[in-house]
Structure 1
Amino acid sequence: MTVWDRPEPPTRPAPLDRERIVAAAIALADEGGLEAVSLRKVAARLDVGPMRLYQYISTKEELFDLMVDEVHAEILPEEQPGDWREVLRTHADRTRQATLRHEWLADLLGGRPTLGPNALAVTEATLAALDGLADLDTVMRAVETVSAYFTGAIRREIANLRAERATGLSKRDWQRAYGPYVSRVLATGRFPALAKVVHDGTEVDAETSFATGLDWVLDAVAAKLARPSA
C-alpha cells in the first residue's frame, strides 16, 4: 500500500499529521539540503519521538515523495492557460521558480513519476492541453522532450549556484581566476571553435538562457504537432 493510500492514524497523544511532518521536512531541506532530512531530525523539529513518525511514514523515500508532491502544489497554476504552448511554458517556468525556492528539488527531478495528487494534477493539466492535437505517442514524446529540457537546465543552474557557494567564487570571479589559463590554451590554436565562442559569443544570464532554450524546444514541438505523422 502506498503512502497515498494509507489513512493517517489518530492524532494522539499530541496533534500530528502528514501535513505538519512534510512542512517540517521541507523546512529542513530548504536550510540544509536533502542530507539534512531524516525521520529522526524531522521528529526533533516537531518535538515528538521518532517512532511517532513511523505511524505516518514508513521510509525516508516516502517522505521525499510527499515533499515533492507538496512543492507540486506551487507548480500548479491557479488558472490554466488556454494555449498548449503557454501551458508547457508555464509548467517549465513554475518548476524552475519552485526549484530556486527549494534547491533540493533539483536532486529529485527526472526520476520515476511522482504519483501524489498535486503532481498528478500537474501531469493531467499538461496532457489535457495537448489532447487532440496529435496522436497519443506524439503527445507523450512532446511532453517528455519539454520535461527533459527544463529538468536538465534547472539542474545545471542549481549546480552552478551550489558551486558558487562552495567555492566562494561568483561566476565573474571564477572567470577571472581561470582566465589566464583559458587564454593560454586558446592561444595554441587547437580549439578554434571554442575560441570563437569565448571571444565573440554573447553571454546571457540563467533566466534568459532558460527562456531561449525553452522557446526553441517549443518551436520544435510545434513543428512536430503540425505534422504528427512525419
Structure 2
Amino acid sequence: MRAAIALADKDGLDAVSLRKVGARLNAGPMRLYGYLSTKEELLELMVDAVYGEMASAGPIRGDWREALRTIARRTRQAAKKHPWFIELLGGRHHLGPNALAHSEASLAALSQTPGFEDIDAVLQAVGTVNAYVIGAIQSEASELRAERESGMNEAQWQNATWPYIQRMIATGRFPTLARVVREATHPSSDVRFDTGLECVLDGIAARLSR
C-alpha cells in the first residue's frame, strides 16, 4: 500500500496501476492479482490508509464547533499531504475500516451535544462541513494544477492578465470587480479556508438556535 501511495503522491493517480506497484515491489502484477482484482480496489485501500493517518491524530474533542473544525482541518491536511486524495472524495461513502472509524468518530463527536440529539441533525451538520471542505480543497487543487500547467504562479498570472483587466474595468461595465481590485485584501488560502469554515459553522449555529 505504501508503494501505491508513494506513486500517487509523486505523479498522481494516473501513475498508479497494479503493474507499476508490482514493479516497485519487485513483484509481478499477477502476484498482486492474488490479493486485488482491480485498480479500484487498490484505490479504495489507498483511501482507507489515508483515513488511518487522519485517525492517528487522536480523538476528536471539544464542543461541536471545535469538533467540526477538527474534522475539516484533518481532511484538508490529508489532501495537502496526498493531493490525489481529494479526487476520490465526494462520491459514495468509503467503507474501509479506517473510513468507517473516521465516520463513527465524526458523528459520535456531535451526537451527545445539546442541539444534536436528532441523528439527522448530526448527519446534516457533518455532511454540510464535509461538502464545504471538499469544495474548498478542490478549488485549491485546481489553482495548483493551473500553476503547473501554465508554468506561472498566482502573482505571475496576475501580472500577465493585468493589462486586460485594466482595459475591462475602464469600460465602466464592472464596478464591483473594480472595487475588488481596489479594496480586496486577498488573504492566504489558509485564511480563506478558515474564514469560510466559520461562515458554515455560524450557519449551523443559527439553525440550532431556532
Fold similarity call, TM over 0.5: yes
SS of 1:96's partner is helix
Deviations 1:157-213 (A, max 9, x none): 111112112222111011000001011111111111121112211110100000000
- Cα distance, 1:79 vs. partner? 2.9
CA distance in 2, matches of 1:139, 1:198: 40
CA distance in 2, matches of 1:150, 1:59: 29
CA distance in 2, matches of 1:80, 1:185: 49
Match of 2:129 in 1: 146
Match of 1:221 in 2: 204
Residues matched between the structures, number: 206
Counterpart contact for 1:75–1:91, Cα < 8 Å: no
CA distance in 2, matches of 1:223, 1:143: 15
Match of 1:172 in 2: 155
Aligned ranges for residues 57-68 of structure 1 at < 5 Å? Answer: 57-68=36-47
Aligned mate of 2:3, from 12, 21, 24:
24
SS of 1:189's partner is coil
- Gaps of at least 5 residues in structure 1 are 1-21
SS of 1:47's partner is coil
Aligned ranges for residues 32-71 of structure 1 at < 5 Å? Answer: 32-71=11-50
Counterpart contact for 2:67–2:110, Cα < 8 Å: no
Counterpart contact for 1:146–1:217, Cα < 8 Å: yes
Counterpart contact for 1:89–1:214, Cα < 8 Å: yes
TM-score of the pair, normalised by structure 1: 0.86
- Cα distance, 1:144 vs. partner? 1.1
CA distance in 2, matches of 1:107, 1:60: 15
**1:120 pairs with 2:100:** yes
SS of 1:222's partner is helix
Match of 2:81 in 1: 101
- Cα distance, 1:88 vs. partner? 1.1
Counterpart contact for 1:74–1:94, Cα < 8 Å: no
- Cα distance, 1:127 vs. partner? 0.7
**1:202 pairs with 2:185:** yes
Misfit runs of 4+, over 3 Å = none
CA distance in 2, matches of 1:87, 1:115: 22
- Gaps of at least 5 residues in structure 2 are none
CA distance in 2, matches of 1:99, 1:221: 24
**1:156 pairs with 2:139:** yes
- Structure with the larger helix share: 2
- Cα distance, 1:67 vs. partner? 0.4
**1:85 pairs with 2:70:** no
CA distance in 1, matches of 2:62, 2:2: 32
SS of 1:193's partner is helix
Report the identity percentage: 58
Counterpart contact for 1:138–1:225, Cα < 8 Å: no
